[in-house]
Amino acid sequence: MEQLLQHLLNGLLLGATYSLLGVGLTLVFGLMNVVNFAHGEFYTLGAYAVFAALVGASIDFFVAIPLAVMVGAAAGAICERCLLRPLRGASIDTIMLVMIGLWIAMQNAELLGWGGVAKSVPTPFPSRPVVFGPVSVSLLRIFVFLVSAALILGAHLLLARTKLGRAMRATFQDRETAALMGVQVERIHTVTFALGAGLAAAAGALLGPVFLVYPSMGDLASLKAFSVVILGGLGNFVGAALGGLVLGVAEELGAGYVSSGYRDAVGFIIIVAVLLLRPSGLFARAERVG
Amino acid sequence: MTAILEVKDLSVRFGGVAALSDVSFCVTAGPVTSVIGPNGAGKTTAFDVITGFRRPTSGQVIHDGRAITGWRPHRIAERGLVRTFQKTSVFPGLTVTENVRTGLHLRGRVGLGTALFRRPRVNEEERGLAGEAERLMDFVGLAARRDERASALSYGEQRLLELAVALAARPRLLLLDEPASGMTASEKLTVAALIGKIRDAGITVFLVEHDMRLVMGISDRVLVLNYGRLIADGSAAEVRRNPDVIRAYLGAHGDVDA
Amino acid sequence: MKRLAVVVVLAVAASAPAWVWNPYHLHTLIMAGIFAVLALSLNLLLGYTGQLSLGHAAFFGIGAYATALLTVKLEWSPWIGLGAATLVPAVTGWVIGRLALKLRGAYFVLLTISFAGVISLVSVNWMDLTNGPLGLPGVPPVEIALPGLPRLSLRTKSAYYYLVFAAVVGCYLVCLALIRSRVGRALIALRENEALAESVGIDGTHYLVLAAMMSAGMAGLGGGLYAHYTRFVSPEVFLFSYTVTMVIMVVAGGKGTLAGPVVGAVIFTVLPEALRALTSWQWQMLLYGILLIVVLFFMPKGIVPTLLEGRRRA
């Protein structure tokens, strides 16, 4: 029983970062209809940014994280401006392939820049876990969970309550009408993509210290993000948030009770199962973003 | 006169909207039947359901005595029920000839094994299909444009190509979704003449159209849909005088003779 | 004119072992041939039905493992191995096609990636079957043993080159035969306008399954050829970089054409070898990514179609 509780707790804590990844991707894939296979690369970028800030520039941990998020968002904005804007109107397949090219380029640039050896990110938290009755958890993971939850909540409020959020929803529902009403449609595209990239970078900045940082870490992150998006339903913000938790728990249970070698297979299996059985996602009736 | 198509209590609901509500009608083999009605009346939805592109919430579609409700489009096409689409639908990257030859799919027999191991049979079939394609392109008047890419054709030509592709599938019942929309007056006359020739060739035509003159000119029978319901069913003259129909159109916009 | 060019190219290619003295260059050509088979296989799906599979390395790998397992563990003839290398992935392709049903576009891509991911994990973790990360060494060379003639072992590069060359020509002809028939038209119709295709009686699912099956089988054949050439199979055959390379070859070469993937395969096997002296493998992959983007921006149809169109206009 205690084992189960521990697994559930671990799953939820980790799942919050998956939710973060998923929410960022559902914005881009669901709203902008861009199949962003490079999503994981912004995740990796965030992780390396934190590493560079801490180890290279000796910046304080709690400053490095938001810095990494901004780096990710900026990179996203640049990519949108340079790659997606010129291709506006191109077929979804072409854009998908361009994103694949970006994926390959970014990952190998990181490989060249940082080398293939995994890096460890120092944190100000004690490594000894805190014990709460039957379960134990490290302070770092609690921090990661809280920040993830805060960012998800923040993004939701941004979309639902602010003028910018309204402009975003309007643009992707009906571009022409939004433009006629004075919305700067091109800028909204850039901002949306940057938001998605920033959230991915945040997930990377938070998980980098938990695990290790290496160039191909984004591959699994991308897949898991897609898994979460499919689970929650394309464009479904709440669905993605919940889906991330489901994935986290499923992985932990799978690793704990079946086999740890196949841990990452859980994400794949979810994708296959949901696509084949209920393509609109498990939470399809929940609130839609667009 | 036999009913080649029968629709019983067809309803389509999605979201909170009832696109079709308990619609029932018959299409008899031979005469040209048209469906008219204001925008959003459910005409294309009806077509989608009949041809398998959408599942109805309830109701039945019966073709030649066989219930085909919920069948996939290609199986319905195999039975000789072919449709065109409201938005111009061609194979854009292919030439006119290739478009029509693709439409001739059901007239061929060659499968994977034959394609790989029995080339003479393939060549024989290709020759036959090439002849058929020529005939069809002549029929719609596109023979001169046979090597042009479909995407390079003018709008009116693309709609004629659509017609040729649909005819290639050898329909006995042809459903045309707004065949004259966006066409110039002379193009519309061409279409009307073609529909007449198609009817004379023994193919039953069932069409959706907005252009009243065209509809009243070529239809033997007219159905009127409004807000997903059938409000009139009779000859062109009868329908034109029907007060419900006039109200439906004047209530929306314009006048029945427009 | 075109026919003459084809004959010349074939003659040059067929005689390569005679005038390519450097065995390393011959090795490069053999790898180019294997990749040409892989590129043609991916092209069947991407170029003709329009669906992208990012899990094609999985079929390549399954083919390699199929023949390796049969020839190493059961000591069967490599020819049966090659047959299995084609058949087993074909069946897998059939299963995927049947499962995918109405999935198109990005969802189909995700399905293929997930499938490849699971297979890759299986190959690493199922030690009893695959020997895990250690791999299967000692894959025997292909032998030609006809009654009355001496046993001919395709151990030398020259001999193997002819086997691969025959495979490339064979696959090319299969694709050609397919395209120039009602079956090929149905596949292309799926890519161009699936709804219209269905409305004239083309069963989208049936043809997608067919394409998936043939595509997977062909990729598996490539895997089998690879296994009997390198004589060693490990989970590395499932590396995503193989899939990436295939995609680049098809997209940059020209998807939807038959010459495109072959040209793409040759360019992107020869080019890295030429660059190898100058740069490292990581630079090469980085350039691949950038190149993919550049091609999609400036030559979206691919090299071969763009060149052909340029000549037609000139």
Q: Domain locations in chain B?
A: 3-88+172-252, 91-152
Say if C212 falls within a structural domain.
yes
**Chain C: closest CA distance from residue A129 (Å):** 31
What residues contact B136, with CB distance under 8 A and at least 6 apart?
Answer: B100, B103, B164, B167, B168
A92 contacts: CB under 8 Å, gap ≥ 6? A33, A35, C105, C106
> What mean pLDDT, rounded, does chain A reach?
86
**Is C200 at the interface with chain B, CB within 8 A?**
yes
- Contact B115/C at CB under 8 A: yes
> B3-88+172-252: which CATH topology?
Rossmann fold (3.40.50)
Regarding the domain delimited by A2-120+131-277, which CATH topology (the fold level of the hierarchy) does it fall under?
Answer: ABC transporter involved in vitamin B12 uptake, BtuC (1.10.3470)
Q: Tell which A residues from 64 to 103 touch C, by Cβ distance under 8 Å.
A: 83, 86-87, 90, 92-94, 96-98, 100-103
State the pLDDT at residue A112.
86
Query: What residues of C are in contact with residue B91 (Cβ under 8 Å)?
Result: 188-189, 192-193, 196
Q: Look at the block and give the residue holding tokens 């938005």.
A: B87
For residues C2 and A48, the model is more confident at A48
pLDDT at residue number C38: 96
**Could C196 and B89 be called an inter-chain contact, meaning their C-beta atoms sit closer than 8 Å?**
yes
Domain count for chain C = 1
Tell which residue, C31, C27, C36, has the closest CA to residue C9: C36
**CA distance to A215, B77, B166, C168, per residue, from B74 (Å):** 47, 5, 12, 35
B106 touches chain C (CB under 8 A): yes
Half-sphere exposure of C10 (CA within 13 A, CB side): 11
Q: Is residue C140 part of a domain?
A: no
Point out the residue among A101, A230, A259 whose CB comes nearest to the CB of C293. A101
Contact A230 C107 (CB under 8 A): yes
**Structure-block tokens of residue B71:** 């069948």
- Token pair, residue C304, equals 């071969």
pLDDT digits (tens, 9 = 90+) for B130-169: 999 999 999 999 999 999 999 999 999 999 999 999 999 9
Contact with chain B for residue C196, Cβ under 8 A: yes
C185 touches chain B (CB under 8 A): yes
Element holding C144 (H helix, E strand): strand C143-144
pLDDT at site A177? 83
Q: Cα-flanking dihedrals φ and ψ of residue C143, to 5°? A: -125, 145
Question: Per mean pLDDT, which of A32-36, A148-152, A259-263 is the most reliable?
Answer: A148-152
Closest chain B CA to residue C194: B91
Q: Any idea which residue has 């709440």 for tokens?
A: A238
Q: Which helix (H) or strand (E) holds C35?
A: helix C23-43
Residue of C44, C199, C205 best to disrupt the B interface, most CBs of B under 10 A: C199
Nearest to C202 among B52, B74, B116 (CB): B74
The pair of three-digit structure tokens given for residue B110, joined into one six-digit string: 């060659």
Q: Report the pLDDT value the prediction gives residue A284, as an integer from 0 to 100.
A: 55
**Residue C81, in any domain of the structure:** yes
The residue type at B121: R
Give the minimum alpha-carbon distance from C125 to chain A in angstroms, rounded to a whole number: 7
Distance of CA B2 to the CA centre of its chain: 20
Cα distance between residue C260 and residue A188, in whole Å: 38
Residues C267 and C259: their CA atoms lie apart, in Å, by: 12
Using CA atoms, how far residue C259 sits from C8, C40, C245, in Å, is 15, 9, 17
Mean per-residue pLDDT over chain B, rounded: 88
**A142 CB near a chain C CB, below 8 Å?**
no
Compute the radius of gyration of chain A from its Cα atoms: 19
- With CB atoms and an 8 Å threshold, state whether C203 touches B83: no
| C255 Cβ neighbours under 8 A, 6+ residues apart | C43, C46, C47, C261, C302
Residue C192 touches partner B, C-beta closer than 8 Å: yes
Contacts of A268 in chain C (CB under 8 A): 113-115, 117-118
- The phi, psi pair for A16, rounded to 5°, reads -60, -35
- Domain annotation covers residue C264: no
Neighbours of A91 (CB within 10 A): 12
Is residue C146 a part of any domain in this protein?
no
Residue pair C121/C237 in contact (Cβ under 8 Å)? The answer is no
CB contact burial A93-116 (16+ within 10 A = b; e otherwise)? bebbbbbbbbbbbbbbbbbbebee
Lowest mean pLDDT among A73-82, B14-23, B103-112, C272-281: C272-281
Nearest to C114 among A101, A111, A271 (CB): A271
- What is the residue-wise DSSP string for C249-305? HHHHH-TTSSHHHHHHHHHHHHHHHHHHTTS-HHHHHHHHHHHHHHHHHH-TT-HHH
Query: For residues A270 and A259, what is the distance between their CA atoms, to the nearest angstrom?
Result: 16
Contacts with B132 (C-beta within 8 Å, 6 or more apart), sequence order: B104, B107, B168
Q: What amino acid is encoded at A176 in this protein?
A: E
CA nearest neighbour of B117 among C183, C97, C42, C258: C183
Q: For residue B82, what is the nearest residue in chain C, using CA coordinates?
A: C199
What gap in Å lies between CA C167 and CA C154, rounded to an integer? 14
Question: What whole-number distance in Å separates Cα of residue A214 and Cα of residue A193?
Answer: 24
Tokens 């065109």 locate to B84
Chain A contact partners (≥3 CB pairs within 8 A): C
Over range A101-113, report the average pLDDT.
89
Chains A and B touch (3+ CB pairs under 8 A): no
Average pLDDT, 10 consecutive residues per value, chain C (314 residues): 82 83 87 95 91 90 93 88 94 88 80 88 85 85 75 79 93 93 93 93 93 95 94 87 86 89 91 74 81 87 84 68
| A268:C114 CB<8 A | yes
Other C-beta atoms lying within 10 Å of the C-beta of residue C22: 8
Distance from CA of A30 to the nearest CA of C (A): 12
Closest CA to A283 of A225, A221, A224, A230: A230
Asked if residue A212 has pLDDT above 80, the reply is yes
Q: Is the pLDDT of residue A286 over 50?
A: no
Is the confidence at residue B227, as pLDDT, over 90? no
What pLDDT, on a 0 to 100 scale, did the predictor assign at position A285?
47
- Report whether C48 contacts C267 (CB < 8 A): no
| Per-residue pLDDT, B251 | 62
User: For C288, which of A94, A104, A268 is closest by C-beta distance?
Assistant: A104
From the candidates A29, A87, A88, A97, which should be mutated to test the interface with C, based on the most C CB atoms within 10 A?
A97
Neighbour count for residue C15 (Cβ, 10 Å): 10
Interchain contact C193–B (C-beta under 8 A): yes
Question: What is the phi/psi pair of residue B24, to 5°?
Answer: -130, 130
Provide the β-strand partners of residue B174: B82, B205
Contact C286/A262, CB-based, under 8 Å? Answer: no
**pLDDT surpassing 50 at residue B258:** no
| Contact predicate A106/C289, CB 8 Å | yes
Of C180, C186, C192, the CB nearest to B105: C186
Distance between C29 CA and the closest CA of chain A, angstroms: 25
Nearest CB neighbour to B108, from listed C182, C197, C210:
C182
Distances in Å between the alpha carbon of A173 and those of A31, A235, A240, A288?
8, 12, 19, 11
How many of the other CB atoms lie within 10 Å of CB of A42?
Answer: 36
Q: How far is CA C81 from the centre of its chain?
A: 17
| Partner B, chain C 208-247, Cβ-Cβ below 8 Å | 210, 214
- The answer to whether residue A289 scores a pLDDT higher than 50 is no
CA-nearest of B64, B53, B66, B77 to B29 is B64
How do the domains of chain A map onto residue ranges?
Answer: 2-120+131-277
Which of C181, C199, C200 has its CB closest to that of B110? C181
DSSP characters for chain B? --EEEEEEEEEEEETTEEEEEEEEEEEESSS-EEEE-STTSSHHHHHHHHTTSS--SEEEEEETTEE-TT--HHHHHHTTEEE--SS----TTSBHHHHHHHHGGGG----HHHHHH-HHHHHHHHHHHHHHHHHHHHHHT-GGGTTSBGGGS-HHHHHHHHHHHHHHT--SEEEEESTTTT--HHHHHHHHHHHHHHHHTT-EEEEE-S-HHHHHHH-SEEEEEETTEEEEEE-HHHHHH-HHHHHHHHHHSS-TT-
Six-digit token string for C226? 């690879």
Q: Of C292, C295, C299, which to mutate for an interface test with A (greatest number of A Cβ within 10 Å)?
A: C292
Q: Quote the distance between the C-alpha of residue A108 and its chain's center.
A: 20
pLDDT reported for residue C313: 67
Tokens of A162: 């602010």
pLDDT at A274 over 90: no
- pLDDT over threshold 50, residue A288: no
Domain interval for residue C225? 23-133+153-239
| Whether B102 and C197 lie within 8 Å, measured CB to CB | yes
The pTM of the full predicted model, rounded to 2 decimals, is 0.86
**Helix or strand holding residue A275 (H, E):** helix A265-277
Entry field: residues in chain C: 314
Residue of C nearest to A36 (CA): C106
Q: Catalogue the E-assigned strands of A24-142.
A: 130-132, 135-137
Chain C positions touching B95 (Cβ under 8 A) are none
Least confident of A235-244, B31-40, C146-155: C146-155
Q: Cβ-count burial of C231 within 10 angstroms (0-12 exposed, 13-18 middle, 19+ buried)?
A: middle
Nearest to C185 among B78, B101, B119 (CB): B101
User: In whole angstroms, what is the distance from residue B159 CA to residue B187 CA?
Assistant: 10
Q: What pairing do the DSSP bridges indicate for beta strands B66-67 and B81-83? A: unpaired
Tell me which chain C residues have a C-beta less than 8 angstroms from the C-beta of B115. Answer: 177-178, 181-184
